[in-house]
């Protein structure tokens, strides 16, 4: 029971004190999980991150599930996962409740008109970063452009775009490999 | 009750298909706004700003906020649970065959196609946010060559250019720029 509580509290702390998720969580994870608790080695944490990136879902939550499962099986996985999302769920619920009461105020509306502009800038910067990592050849440019255009102008669920891109990736890469050998 | 089940199901789907970080949930949220009356597309940028300015992973924050708009605290919990459930199940399954999964070439192959597609999806969602931020109409369909001049917000465009420059020149935390833009919004009554 105490182990489960420790898992919960540790991931609570990491989730509650890091902003942005993803790689921003890495230094905190190393400090808490590797150095303080010794639940995993540094290499293992990096492995979890790598796997977290190629499984659906949120990398930090996936890492928490992994470490919790390794320590205490399924109960551990649940304790760590719930801990990892607990602080942000509480904080965001609080903000949402407050905001809903003030959303009609002119000041709040002006503030959000400004915020909308900065959010679009943040997304553009994020896409720029993704471009460097994910567009490695000409075909990737075509895939990115096609997914952008379809998403903007065709009324279709992103689910289908994701599935089609995965199948295309497997087909093209397998084809290239067959050609090589 | 039925409504909550739909909420869990929709976020389960988002958790299952959004690969590659918190912003990957964006295109799905736009889809939700079109499909259900839970929240409107114009609220999505507000959600992003709040998610970026609160601790924790972006995807979880977005789910919590969306769920709250849907039906308060219980909605928050349902949406977040739906979001993380698929990855928890997958991770528990994968952790048994950890090494095999990592070195599987087909996982690599799938990601070769997935990464640029997800980038395109996020870009498309960002385009929607951009249109809503710079024009006095969030809907692309309402804009035409005739009215584009009267719909465009000059102050917003100046702020956009300044922020694009500043965020790339000085790498400060997003919260800094979010607060700054909120102040500019209030001062100039955008």
Q: What is the ipTM of this complex?
A: 0.79
Nearest CA-CA partner of B87 in B169, B39, B24, B136: B24
Structural domain including A136 reads 106-180
**If phi over 0 gives left and psi between -120 and 50 gives alpha, with beta otherwise, what is residue B189?**
left
Q: Shortest CA distance to B17 belongs to which of B25, B9, B7, B6?
A: B25
Both A95 and A124 in one domain: the answer is: no
Give the domain-ending residue among A86, A102, A118: A102
- pLDDT in the model for residue B20: 66
The beta-carbon neighbor of B18 closest among A17, A56, A61 is: A56
Minimal C-alpha gap between A144 and chain B (Å): 5
**Is the same domain home to A85 and A70?**
yes
* Structure-token match 């995965």, residue found: A166
Query: What pLDDT does residue B175 have?
Result: 78
Here the tokens at position B124 are 């498309």
With a CB cutoff of 8 Å and minimum separation 6, the contacts of A154 are none
Question: Is 80 exceeded by the pLDDT of residue B145?
Answer: no
Interface contact A114, partner B, CB < 8 A = yes
Give me the percent of chain A exceeding a pLDDT of 70: 96
| Co-location of A6 and A47 in the same domain | yes
Whether residue A9 is predicted with pLDDT greater than 80 in this model: the reply is yes
Task: Verify that A38 and A9 share a domain, yes or no.
Answer: yes
pLDDT value, residue B144:
65
As a whole number, mean pLDDT of residues A41-58 equals 77
Rounded-to-integer distance, Cα B32 and Cα B47, Å: 14
pLDDT-derived band of residue A164, with 50, 70 and 90 as boundaries? very high
What average pLDDT does this structure show over A120-149? 89
pLDDT at A21: 58
CB B61 within 8 A of CB B90: no
Q: What is the pLDDT of residue B138?
A: 54
Closest CA to B178 of A69, A100, A20: A20
pLDDT at B143: 64
Q: Which two tokens stand for residue B23?
A: 């912003």
For the segment B167-189, the average pLDDT, to the nearest whole number, is 87
Same domain for A147 and A81?
no
How many residue pairs from chains A and B have C-beta atoms closer than 8 A? 366
Per-residue pLDDT, averaged over B130-155, amounts to 73
Of A76, A102, A128, at which residue does a domain stop?
Answer: A102
What's the confidence (pLDDT) of residue B21? 66
- Residue B22 tokens read as 């918190």
**B8 vs A136: which has the higher pLDDT:** B8
Provide the shortest C-alpha distance from residue B124 to chain A (in Å): 5
Shared domain for A110 and A95, answered yes or no, is: no
Q: Which residues of A touch B188 (CB under 8 A)?
A: 110, 114
Q: Which residues contact B106 (CB under 8 A, 6 or more apart)?
A: A170
Q: How far apart are CA B51 and CA B62, in angstroms?
A: 6
In the predicted structure, residue A149 carries a pLDDT above the cut 90 = yes
Examine the fold and report which residue of A102, A134, A167 is the final residue of a domain before the chain moves on: A102
What single DSSP character describes residue A33? I
Reported as a single tens digit per residue, the pLDDT across B66-109 is: 899 888 999 999 999 999 999 899 888 887 776 677 678 888 88
Same domain for A116 and A73: no
Determine whether B108 is exposed, middle or buried from the number of CB atoms within 10 Å of its CB (0-12, 13-18, 19+): middle
Pick from A49, A51, A141: nearest CA to B123:
A141
Other Cβ atoms within 10 Å of A145 Cβ, number:
13
Q: Are residues A86 and A119 in the same domain?
A: no
Q: Are residues A8 and A92 in the same domain?
A: yes
Contact check, Cβ <8 Å, A143/B127? no
Is residue A159 located within the same domain as residue A84? no
* Total of domains in chain A: 2
Burial of A114 per CB tally in 10 Å (0-12, 13-18, 19+)? buried
Question: Which residue among B60, B120, B130 sits closest to A61, beta carbon to beta carbon?
Answer: B60
pTM: 0.79
Question: Is the per-residue pLDDT at B139 higher than 90?
Answer: no
């Amino acid at each position: 029971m105490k182990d489960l509580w420790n898992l919960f509290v540790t991931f609570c702390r990491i989730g509650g004190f890091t902003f942005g998720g993803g790689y921003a969580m890495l230094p905190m994870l190393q400090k808490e999980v590797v150095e303080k608790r010794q639940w995993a080695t540094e290499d293992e944490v990096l492995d979890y991150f790598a796997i977290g990136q190629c499984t659906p879902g949120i990398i930090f939550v996936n890492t928490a599930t992994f470490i919790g499962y390794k320590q205490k099986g399924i109960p551990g996985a649940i304790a760590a996962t719930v801990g990892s999302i607990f602080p942000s769920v509480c904080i965001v619920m609080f903000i949402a409740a407050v905001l809903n009461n003030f959303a009609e105020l002119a000041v709040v509306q002006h503030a959000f008109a400004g915020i909308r502009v900065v959010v679009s800038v943040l997304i553009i910067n994020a896409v720029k970063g993704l471009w460097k990592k994910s567009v490695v050849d000409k075909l990737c440019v075509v895939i990115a452009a096609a997914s952008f255009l379809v998403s903007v102008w065709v009324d279709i669920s992103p689910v289908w775009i994701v599935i089609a891109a995965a199948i295309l990736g497997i087909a093209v890469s397998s084809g290239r490999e067959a050609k090589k050998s | 009750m039925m409504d909550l089940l739909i909420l869990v199901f929709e976020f389960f789907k988002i958790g299952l298909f959004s690969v590659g970080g918190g912003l990957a949930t964006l295109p799905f949220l736009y889809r939700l706004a079109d499909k259900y009356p839970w929240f409107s597309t114009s609220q999505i940028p507000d959600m992003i700003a709040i998610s970026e300015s609160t601790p924790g992973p972006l995807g979880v924050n977005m789910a919590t906020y969306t769920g709250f708009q849907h039906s308060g605290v219980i909605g928050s919990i349902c949406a977040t649970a739906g979001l993380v459930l698929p990855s928890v199940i997958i991770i528990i399954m994968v952790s048994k065959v950890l090494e095999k999964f990592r070195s599987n070439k087909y996982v690599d192959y799938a990601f070769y196609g997935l990464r640029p597609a997800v980038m395109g999806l996020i870009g498309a969602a960002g385009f929607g946010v951009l249109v809503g931020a710079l024009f006095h109409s969030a809907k692309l369909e309402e804009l035409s060559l005739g009215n584009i001049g009267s719909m465009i917000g000059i102050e917003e465009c100046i702020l956009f250019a300044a922020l694009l420059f500043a965020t790339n020149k000085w790498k400060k935390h997003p919260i800094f720029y979010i607060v700054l833009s909120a102040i500019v919004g209030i001062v100039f009554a955008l």
